[in-house]
Amino acid sequence: MNANILQNDRARLTALTPDDIPAMLPWFEDAGFMRHLDACPAKPKTASELKKWVEDMQSSNDGFILAVRPAGGEDLTGVVEIDGILWTHQVTWLAIGIAPGMQGKGYGRAAMELALKFAFDELNLHRVQLTVFAYNTRAIALYEALGFTREGIYREFLLRDGQRYDMYLYGLLRREWAMER
């Protein structure tokens, strides 16, 4: 049994607390971050909106929100959301956001590895799925490096700056993840 499933050399997954909200506020004032994260209008969010999001996730029966912190530190580096779990079918959605100033330093990969370990080894899920916009080349490279398969294309899903963009569906099955390790 591997006891240390929430930590690797680069990062660790911990509880996200209300004290983390001030650190998250600048992320949700950064339109570039928000436009990579989801399809909602990239509108700045208030502390109370973020608090409600965190509290809703923490009281949810079908999801988890976890903080990403450096292996040896307390700073908030990012957030991982395991959401919309269908317990009957052992399927979940997964989303990740790394703080704008901390991207490209290996935290995304380290946190995804931990989130997948949590999903497959602790929650015993069978399938992890996510969506990503076609212009999010960094995220796509990460998901493909982790073994995700592009399973579908939501053609012309997004309209931004007068241009339409596809959104991809990616999935990873437990056996594919186990093979990659």
Ligand X SMILES: CC(C)(COP(=O)(O)OP(=O)(O)OC[C@H]1O[C@@H](n2cnc3c(N)ncnc32)[C@H](O)[C@@H]1OP(=O)(O)O)[C@@H](O)C(=O)NCCC(=O)NCCS
Residues with Cβ within 8 Å of 88's Cβ and at least 6 positions away in sequence, in order, are none
| Strand runs labelled E in 49-90 | 64-70, 78-86
Residues with Cβ within 8 Å of 175's Cβ and at least 6 positions away in sequence, in order, are none
Site pattern 87..106 for ligand X (x: CB under 6 A): ---------xxx----xxxx
Across the beta sheet with 163-173, the strand order is 11-15, 64-70, 78-86, 91-98, 127-133, 163-173, 149-160
Give yes or no for a contact between 103 and 96, defined as CB atoms under 8 angstroms apart.
no
Q: Residue from 5, 8, 70, 138 that binds ligand X (CB under 6 A)?
A: 138
| Using rule CB under 6 A, residue 53 touches ligand X | no
Residue type, 160: R
Number of chain positions touching ligand X (CB under 6 A): 21
Residue type, 173: L
Binding part of the chain for ligand X, among 31-39, 46-54, 55-63, 120-128 by CB under 6 A, reads: 31-39
| Using rule CB under 6 A, residue 160 touches ligand X | no
CB closer to ligand X, 23 vs 124? 23
For the CB of residue 158, give the shortest distance to ligand X in the complex, in Å.
Answer: 12
Q: Residue from 23, 31, 71, 145 that binds ligand X (CB under 6 A)?
A: 145
Q: Residue from 65, 109, 114, 172 that binds ligand X (CB under 6 A)?
A: 109
| Using rule CB under 6 A, residue 129 touches ligand X | no
DSSP element (H, E) containing 109:
helix 107-117
| Using rule CB under 6 A, residue 36 touches ligand X | yes
Q: What is the CA radius of gyration of the chain?
A: 16
For the CB of residue 94, give the shortest distance to ligand X in the complex, in Å.
Answer: 9
Contact residues toward ligand X (CB under 6 A) are: 33, 36-37, 96-98, 103-109, 132, 136-139, 141-142, 145
